[in-house]
Amino acid sequence: MKRIAISIFHDRIASRLDSAENLMLVTTDDGKVKSRELVLLREDDPLRKIDIIFQLKPDVLICGGLTKMCDYKLSHSNIKVIPWIQGNIEYILSLCLRNKFIDGNYDRSDYNSQHRSHS
């Protein structure tokens, strides 16, 4: 089983981890989603948000921008951090589940074209 934490803002990756108010915690097994949980990050202090992420014990954290302070604290954990990601949550998650390399910007049109071609 693998636990993936994704910083979210509506249906997109939150632009900055330190200002994200929500995380989606996804538990997967053999490339399939087993559960999803919305986790509120209502802390003002970015380091408290990182502490909450540590308590969730994800294997992977997918997020937007990172401050140096957050990056430093996360670099001393066992969490694989995939930062600077932008785009639709479902599309990014689908790439992750298929073990595709995730890097850069993915917009809604990527997600919509992928699903139209497979429908």
Q: What is the pLDDT of residues 60-112, one digit of tens each?
A: 999 999 999 999 999 999 999 999 999 999 999 999 888 876 665 544 344 44
Token pair listed for 22 = 């929500």
- The CATH number for 2-118, chosen from 1.10.357.10, 3.30.420.130, 3.20.20.10, 1.10.150.530, is 3.30.420.130
3-state secondary structure of 81: strand
Give the residue extent of every domain in the chain: 2-118
Tell me: pLDDT of 25 over 50: yes
Query: For residue 117, is pLDDT > 50?
Result: no
Residue 101 pLDDT: 67
Q: Once rounded to an integer, what is the mean pLDDT over residues 7-12? A: 94
Over range 1-19, report the average pLDDT.
Answer: 94
The predicted pLDDT at position 43 comes to: 87
Q: CA-to-CA distance for 47 and 70, rounded, in angstroms?
A: 7
Task: Tell me the C-alpha distance between 17 and 104, whole Å.
Answer: 15
| pLDDT tens digits for range 28-53 | 999 899 999 999 998 889 999 999 99
CB 88 within 8 A of CB 110: yes
Q: Which residues of 92-101 are buried (b: 16+ CB within 10 A; e: fewer)?
A: bbbbbbeeee
pLDDT of 104 reads 53
* Tokens, residue 5: 């934490």
The pTM of the full predicted model, rounded to 2 decimals, is 0.84
Cβ contact 80:57 at 8 Å: no
